[in-house]
Amino acid sequence: MKRIPAYFLFLLLSINTVNSQVPKKRLPQNINVPTYSHIFPSLSGDGNQMIYLTNYTNSDGFETRYTYKTGAEIWADPEPIPSINKPGLDHIGSFCLSHDGNFVVFSSRRSHGIGNYDIWISEKIGNNWSRPVNPGKPLNSQGHEGNPSLSADGKTMYFMRCESMGKTKKNNCRLFVSHKISATRWSEPEALPDYINTGHETTPRIQADNKTLVFASGRSGGKGMLDLYTSTLDRNTWSKPVPLSFLNTDQNDEFVTIPARGDIIYFSGSYRDNYNIFKAIIPEKFRPQKVLMLTGTVSYDDGQKPSEDIFIRAYDLSTGDVYATSKLKQNDDSFTIFLTEGTSYDISAFPQKGGYTYFSKIYDLNDMLIAHKEELPVSLSALKSGMSMALSNIRYDDYSSVLNSDSNIEIKRIKGFLQKNPDIRIEIGAFIDQVYTDSIPTNDLTEVIADTIFCELEKIDEFMLEYSIDSLQTLADFEEDRTDSMNQNLDTLYSEIDSMELENNEILAYNNDSTAIGFLDELDSAIITPKDSLLAVGFELFEEDDINEIYYKINYTYHNDRTQKQAEALMNKLIEAGVPSDLLEAKGYGDDWTEDRAEEERNYWIELKIFKR
């Protein structure tokens, strides 16, 4: 076994040994190389990138390594990060990978710092990591800052400030938060509440929901020297910390990482006289809020490369505030946005230089079932006269031409689009997937549900009907005229059909005077006709039991074509917002469309037609 320097012994003896409180699984051997120690993992939000410390090196001590997934449970061979790693100067265990995997934040006392241990930031550019940058004051101070964690939106930094720090030790630490106010500046850090900062708190890790904070604390009542706790931010107030009892042990429990899905936790644990990296399932009650991780790429249809002037923004529609922003990096057309459950979001990709269409979409996460990752490819088109751009974020109140508040951000976006492209004017085209004839003539545009029709079908004993039909068919094959036996069988079958209590005059038509073969032809058609006829005209199954099936159909009353008024309503809103009226034209197309862009929650849509001025 490789000899471990003495100054690491305290560190290793104090980390989480993880008893059998939760089932755990070791990561593969190219990560957990036998007879060496591997500690302090930090994963990206999608769980596909990881940095960690290992003493499987060509020199004494530990160094930071980077790896990424190449399969469901397969990791690439880890590589050192020489541009970041300064083993003699860095605070061990402080390295934290951002949720989007594009940044590493850590604590070091390398040269050109502000105080002793400072926070430093390195950015991933292609396959390399940039030279670390010190964010300066007031994020860093003359004292000691350590174990930073960057929020998923990149706008908030959580970290600890300590009275004293060394390479492996820290004393009397408290947790702080700072907010990004520009590309290079951070706000004056604020201490978290006293019921979180009880005396010695370390290693804050903000989760992808931007609300759940996991941290270590030496407060009384714990199982060991340091235990793990979680607290949730709700309306600017942190909840009372709750211990992670499923993971805490009688040792120091401090360094953990949780990808955005929120159901798996990674940690260090003892294994055959060394330390390995494990993962375990998080019990439901300890999981962060569910998150949608949107990852995508932006492309131009003319082959040009999207540049860093493309902004990806997410607005919280319940407040109208910007929730998250991502900017494409130079020579990188990808983006990542994290959206937390419980509200709806307006997402857009908007070119700042003009000359191209933009993209927008609404995501409703009010009833999110599971946390997951979703790909969102975005293709933007070069502007040409006569082209159309479909918008899905313009919404009207139900059954009307009144724009609802979810449209406000898109209205501002259309105005910005016209400002970025002063050489164009637009026609606002409103479409509906189908125009229904109004059953109640009126000038009112209100669309209502008029009534619901129910139809009850009595189930048929299929075996009995098949037996009866087969028997009658056999008789008909041998007897041209009716016999007493055949008439008796027909009377029985008529009685069975009458007992179905169908709408015989409308749905099941037959003639009592038919010949045997003629009747069977009619009956064979009738058996499949009632249900199929109902389904063909839009009826749906409402409920059923052993005897009956009940079908229903909702009758809508559309007041013919409201698309003209919808187009005019949007035009008027844009004029109110300051758009010159000579740049706008409104036209309702009804159901005269080439591609149906209706969605489940709405049967209409807006298209902007571009014209050169």
pLDDT at 326 over 90: no
Per-residue pLDDT, 440: 60
Would you state the pLDDT for residue 129?
93
290-382 — its CATH code?
2.60.40.10
| CATH among 3.40.50.2300, 2.60.40.680, 2.120.10.30, 3.40.50.970 for 6-286 | 2.120.10.30
- Amino acid type, 408: N
Mean pLDDT for the stretch of residues 595-605: 89
**What span, in angstroms and rounded, lies between the C-alpha atoms of 208 and 301?**
33
pLDDT-wise least confident of 348-362, 406-420, 457-471, 512-526: 512-526
- Quote the pLDDT of residue 568: 98
- Average pLDDT of span 245-272: 93
**Cα(499)–Cα(496) distance, rounded to whole angstroms?**
5
Name which CATH class applies to 384-447+558-613: alpha beta
pLDDT at 457: 80
C-alpha span between 289 and 365 (Å, rounded): 12
Reported as a single tens digit per residue, the pLDDT across 420-455 is 999 999 999 999 988 876 666 666 655 666 667 788
Structure confidence at residue 306 (pLDDT): 84
Mean of per-residue pLDDT scores for the chain:
84
Q: What mean pLDDT comes out for the span 274-287?
A: 95
Q: What pLDDT band is residue 6 in, cutting at 50, 70 and 90?
A: very low
**Per-residue pLDDT at 186:** 97
Which residue intervals of 450-547 are DSSP H helices? 462-478, 484-498, 516-536
Please tell me the predicted confidence (pLDDT) of residue 495.
Answer: 55
Residues 93-118 have a mean pLDDT of 94
> Where do the domains of the chain lie?
6-286, 290-382, 384-447+558-613, 451-556
Band of residue 497 on the pLDDT scale cut at 50, 70, 90: very low
- pLDDT tens per residue, range 146-163: 999 999 999 999 999 999
Q: Which residue in 115, 65, 67 sits closest to 87, CA to CA? A: 65
- Amino acid 548: pLDDT: 85
Q: State yes or no: pLDDT of 210 exceeds 60.
A: yes
Residue 399 φ/ψ, nearest 5 degrees: 60, 40
Provide the token pair at 300: 């131009």
- When mean pLDDT is compared across 192-201, 312-321, 495-504, the lowest value belongs to 495-504
Share of the chain above pLDDT 70, in %: 82
Least confident of 98-112, 251-265, 442-456, 471-485: 471-485
Q: CA angle, corner 175, sides to 172 and 179, nearest 5?
A: 145
Q: Is the pLDDT of residue 469 over 50?
A: no
Strands 424-432 vs 584-590: parallel, antiparallel or unpaired: parallel
